[in-house]
Every structure is written in C-alpha cells, then in structure tokens.
Copies of this chain bind each other. A is one copy, B any other.
Amino acid sequence: MDNKMKSAVLEISRRRALLATLAILPVLPPALATAAWAQDAATKLSSWNDGPAKQAIIDFVRATTDRSSPKFVPPEERIATFDQDGTLWVEHPMYTQVVYCLERVPALVEQKLELKDVEPFKTVLSGDQEAIAKLPLHDLEEILGATLTGMSVDEFSAEAKKWLETARHPRWKRPYTELVYQPMIELLQYLRDNGYRTYIVTGGGQDFVRVYSEKVYGIPPEQVVGTAEGTKFGYDKKGRPFLTKEPKLLINDNFAGKPEGIHLMIGQRPYAAFGNSTGDQQMLEYTGAGDGMRLMMLVLHDDAQREYAYGPAAGLPYTRVGTFTQALYDEAKKDGWIVISMKNDWKRVFAFE
C-alpha cells in the first residue's frame, strides 16, 4: 500500500533494513527480466483465471510502466480509480452503508424521541423487512441524512467502526469487510506494486468508507472519494475545535458526479477505472477520453452460486443496487471496455473460500 511504500522509502533513506534484503536478490539480466515480470504478474493475480480480463490487466500494466514502451506513463500520473459497491465488495441484498443507516435508527430515535411515530423512521423501527425493502428512495435519503449527519466527525467514525466489527452479512454470516473480492484486492496491490495510486471513487459515503479503507483495501483515507456532506468547524465547551457533519451535500459521487469528484479530489484523469454499474459509466468515459493507453473494466455479476447474478446484462431483471444495463454492456463492447465475468474470470471470489 502507498503508506507502506513511503515507509519503505523512509527506511532506505536511513540505509537500514532494505539493504540486507536487497543484497541477497539477484540482479536479473535484461532477457530474463521479461519472463520474471510475467511470472510476477501471474503470481500476484493468482485468483484470476487466464483469459481476456486478466490479460488486459497485465498488458495495460506492462505497457504503461515499462520505460521502453511508447505507452509509458510517468509514475506521478499513474492513477487508478475503483468503484466500491459491487466492484470491490458485495452490494447485495443492500448497500452496506444503507444497512448501517437502518440499524442506526433505534439509537437515533432514542436521542430524538419525536421521530418515533414519524415515517419513514416508524417503518424502520417496526422491523418489517419487506416494508423496509420497499421504502422509496426519498425515504432512504431521509434516513441516510438523519443517521450520517449531525454528529462530530470523530463520533461518526467511532460509531461506524464499532458497527462494522459486529455487523454480519445475512448470507455469509461474516463481517461485511470480509466480503471483499479477492481478485480485486490482488489487482489493487498489483497496480500499487507498479507505481499506481489506487483510489476508491464510490457513491457511498466518503467518511463511512474511510473508516475501514486502509485496513480492508490498503487505501488510506485521503484516497477515498465518495459522496460527501460538508462539515462545520466549531469549538466545544472547553474551547477545543471540532468538526460537525452537516446535512449539506458537497459531492454526489455517482454518475456524472464521479468524474467531477475525481477532478475535485485528485485533479488528474485516471489511467484505469473499474466499476460495475451505470453509476460508473461517466467515470469510465472520462478515463477513456484521455491520451495514451487506458484501461476500463466492469464487473458483471453472473455468478449466483458463489455470489449473485443480477441486472439486465446478466439476463436478469433490474434491482435497486448496481444496475448493469444492457445499454452499458453495449457501450462497453463498443468502446473496448473489458467486462469481467465473475463466473469465468475469477478463480476465487473471497479470501475465505
């Protein structure tokens, strides 16, 4: 991960541990280096089956990092962006953050008793899963707003962290943070090993994802771009400054909001972008519009047995989450984006398998 990389450089500057490590590694002659490079990719992407998706990744990394390549990209421009829900981890049957917000409602109502008999909080408190699943979008937004804002930044992080430690996914009975796709974890690391800075660019809440991004993905908080509300600086009773999460939307990091968020937060166009739904379409278009070689990939959920199968591109109906439409599939084919078939391209879906 980036920070470990920096830490490593630090060590070099102190001329300590690395010296000993490096000294025992052989210097490869140029002819062998090529084979070693391919070997390295194969080892690091071991949860990927051989096929067009894996090959596209290897070709891209090779072409953009080999100094003798006409497609070489200077290290400072190596940016790769990843959607999260459905691209890095499971998004079914509900976005994890939405589950968090729903489960926060009882604690919220305890603090604000006046919400007890008011919709949509009343329905959430009823525990009627069918009714909850049917709540319209504006009701969900109201619940999100009420449970994600109004507290200090530190309070929010502490609550979210605590919840993530105990919450379990209904199907696998495991923490949500274990339901990350092992092939994508390998891809993140492989890109970082090749000098790419990996960013999450998610429609989910920036502050929510930042709570676990370093631990789960090796991505530090500053490399998480997400839907974000503003904060308000103020002082507590002892005169100590703190930030309160305000119900004022700054970044709606979905659809066109993704390239807009990327410009605001990163200021450079990515060379590679990964998504799984129409919410990622503009990010992939924006990435593809740059010069040189670019890599755009979409995860297709076509594996009901090991994960889920959903969306028109998998020949299945629309769902509330992660809509991979037929139109998106057609655009991918037309523009040379690579569709990752979970069923065919992934040898393994989860690390715990």
Whether A155 is near chain B, meaning CB under 8 Å from some CB there, is no
Whether A171 is near chain B, meaning CB under 8 Å from some CB there, is no
Q: Which of B12, B75, B241, B242 contacts A7 (CB 8 A)?
A: B75
Stretch at the interface among A89-97, A106-114, A178-186, A220-228: A220-228
Asked if B197 contacts A6 (CB within 8 A), the reply is yes
Give bound CA distance, A100 to B178, whole Å: 51
Q: A195-B10, A259-B233 are in contact. Are A27 and B19 (CB under 8 A)?
A: yes
What is the distance, in angstroms, from A34's C-beta to the closest C-beta of chain B?
Answer: 12
Within 8 Å CB of A12, what residues of B?
A: 8, 12, 18, 22
Asked if A242 contacts B289 (CB within 8 A), the reply is yes
Asked if B28 contacts A267 (CB within 8 A), the reply is no
Q: What is the size, in residues, of chain A's interface with B at 8 Å between Cβ atoms?
A: 66
Give bound CA distance, A286 to B15, whole Å: 35
What is the distance, in angstroms, from A206's C-beta to the closest C-beta of chain B?
Answer: 7
Q: Which 7 A-B pairs have the closest CB atoms?
A: A221-B267, A3-B76, A233-B256, A7-B75, A10-B195, A5-B9, A222-B266
Chain A residues within 8 Å of B, Cβ to Cβ? 2-10, 12-16, 18-19, 22-23, 25-28, 33, 65, 74-76, 79, 153, 193-195, 197, 206-207, 210, 214, 220-222, 224, 228, 230-233, 240-243, 250-251, 256-257, 259-260, 263-268, 282, 285-286, 289
